[in-house]
Amino acid sequence: MAEPRPSRRALLAVPLFLAAGPALAQPANRQPGPRVVPGPRVVTLLGDSITAGYGLPAQAALPARLQAALVRLGANAVVRGAGVSGDTTAGGLARVDFSVRKDTDVAVIALGANDLLQGLDPRRTRANLDGIVRKLKGRGVGVVLAGIDAPAQIGGGYARDFNAVFPAVARAHGVTLYPNLLDGVARQPALNQADGIHPNARGAAIIAARLAPVVARALAARG
């Protein structure tokens, strides 16, 4: 027996049902979720006694001063100190993997002063800095390389070779160079502690104020 044919009214209802299908499949209106506010960017200072804040209370040391200077520039950043007194570039290379944590956005390499004080071979200083930068870039960490200016009176040839290390490393790896960490502070008695080497609170504030725009640009470049 032939099946009964659908009525004309039923056929006319099919397009209406199909047209309604997508609307029926739409989820109910949802309230927008909470807006995600990005957390602060992390800056790590990999250095020696200067970045460790030798002779200064924590709030006057370079990490705290740099964080305050970055905030004044509008950068949402937290600065971690990873300075070890007496550390050379060799020490920094040995500990970079655990001293610069995984969540670091930009690392400031502030090593070399103790290499200079100990008269270490500039070629070895360069090799160590090369290794540090290579490791950080391999992890996707932005790098600012802070140099140290060797005074000519320690020996013209040595000073020339030592001072050439930092721009050479920066060029080789395409990282930002801050030519002299102690710019405006070195050999200024009013800005240093009694030893004439370590910045006092005023000196640390000057270093931070001059370094902060460079670090802020490095953070901004990372998006």
- 53-108 pLDDT, tens digit each: 999 999 999 999 999 999 999 999 999 999 999 999 999 999 999 999 999 999 99
pTM strictly above 0.85: no
For residue 77, the cross-strand partners are 41
Residue 126 CB neighbours (<10 A):
21
Choosing from 48, 49, 85, 149, which is the catalytic residue? 49
**Is 195 marked active-site?**
yes
Choosing from 87, 99, 115, 198, which is the catalytic residue? 198
**Is 99 marked active-site?**
no
Owner of token pair 């949402």: 76
| Pairwise CA distance, residues 143 & 43, whole Å | 10
pLDDT tens digits, one per residue of 101-135: 999 999 999 999 999 999 999 999 999 999 999 99
**Is 7 marked active-site?**
no
163-195 burial code (b ≥16 CB/10 A, e <16):
bebbeebbeebebbbbebbbeebbeeeebbeee
Question: In this structure, are residues 39 and 103 in contact, taking their beta carbons and an 8 Å threshold?
Answer: no
| Pairwise CA distance, residues 204 & 51, whole Å | 9
